[in-house]
Amino acid sequence: MHVIDSHTGGEPTRVILTGAPDLGSGTLAERALRLAADYKELYRSILLEPRGQPAMVGAMLVEPVDRSCVTGVIYFDVDAVLGMCGHGTIGLAVTLAHLGRIDTGIHRIETPAGVVTVELHDENTVSVTNIESRRVRRAVNLDVPGHGCVVGDVAYGGNWFFIVDPSPIPVETSNIAAMTKLTIAIRKAAMASGLKGANSEPVDHVILQEQSPRKGVSGRNFVLCPDNNYDRSPCGTGCSACLACLAAEGELAEGEEIIQESVIGSTYHLSYKLGPNGGIIPRIKGQAFIMSEANLMFDANDPFRSGIEI
């Protein structure tokens, strides 16, 4: 399996170029369901140690249905096939440029959540125009065992998020263990309460958001992904969901740009325009860097062929 690894704001992306399973035809959403149902052990083995690392997201290239797109892609982490991935799309664009498949300019990429647009500014800098994002519930009260009542918004940015703003724990690297414990508990409480997305999707990402103390930076976040690992980047789909909340509250104007940082200090530049269906169209600008190119081997005699889950 031929792969190229990059990182976007510290969050790794592994693009699978060849050797992926044949997911057949149909929409990307249908093919994503086949990957989730029939190839879970394989996609997990691509990301788990010793081949991968806990924060890594996979990006499997597939033929697009929309022929105006340069490629189709299906994203996944260790525990879920994803509708969309912002940092992964930035990493994918940089990878395609590294391979000579795209040049600076605007390109379309098809994902299970819909077609997104990337603008490659230079070999490392990319702006992603995401799918339409929206807030669907405001100020939801969740009884979180061991933590009391937690209040948050439910919003969509390509994945579904429960967003707590302000965070009850300072968003600092010294609190990563405590924030991980809290956000896992929040997600369990959300699922136990029957909290769902607009079409009964699981709300499987959690964001703790606060104001950043850094001059010129608007917010700082901690984002829990479905595999119980935190996003080292500010999370592109999470930022899209947060932009939808800010727009709904009238706290950010159309076209106004802000800077969002992650818990480790990496940043995205964010803005939005109004969408055709009552939501917003987010724009996320960030940087990715190629780290390695490799052929993954799956030896039948390897006792850890399917990976190590710690």
pLDDT, tens digit (0-9, with 9 covering 90-100), for 117-154: 999 999 999 999 999 999 999 999 999 999 999 999 99
Any domain includes 189: yes
CA–CA distance, 33 with 23 (Å, rounded to integer)? 9
Any domain includes 183: yes
- Residues with a catalytic annotation lie at 85, 235
151 and 193 share one domain: yes
Any domain includes 60: yes
94 and 149 share one domain: no
Domain that holds residue 78: 2-127+290-295
Write the pLDDT tens digit of every residue in 189-239: 999 999 999 999 999 999 999 999 999 999 999 999 999 999 999 999 999
Total number of domains in the chain = 2
Any domain includes 284: no
CB 170 within 8 A of CB 208: no
Any domain includes 249: yes
Any domain includes 303: no
CB 205 within 8 A of CB 197: no
Any domain includes 309: no
206 and 93 share one domain: no
58 and 10 share one domain: yes
Any domain includes 15: yes
182 and 98 share one domain: no
107 and 54 share one domain: yes
209 and 90 share one domain: no
CA–CA distance, 167 with 165 (Å, rounded to integer)? 5
CATH of the domain at 80: 3.10.310.10
pTM exceeding the 0.85 threshold for the entire prediction: yes
CA distance to 22, 68, 90, 176, 289, per residue, from 106 (Å) = 28, 12, 13, 37, 19
138 and 219 share one domain: yes
Q: What is the pLDDT of residue 99?
A: 98
Q: What is the mean pLDDT of each run of 10 residues along the chain (310 residues)?
A: 98 97 96 97 96 94 97 96 97 98 98 97 98 98 97 97 98 98 98 94 96 96 96 98 98 98 98 97 98 97 92
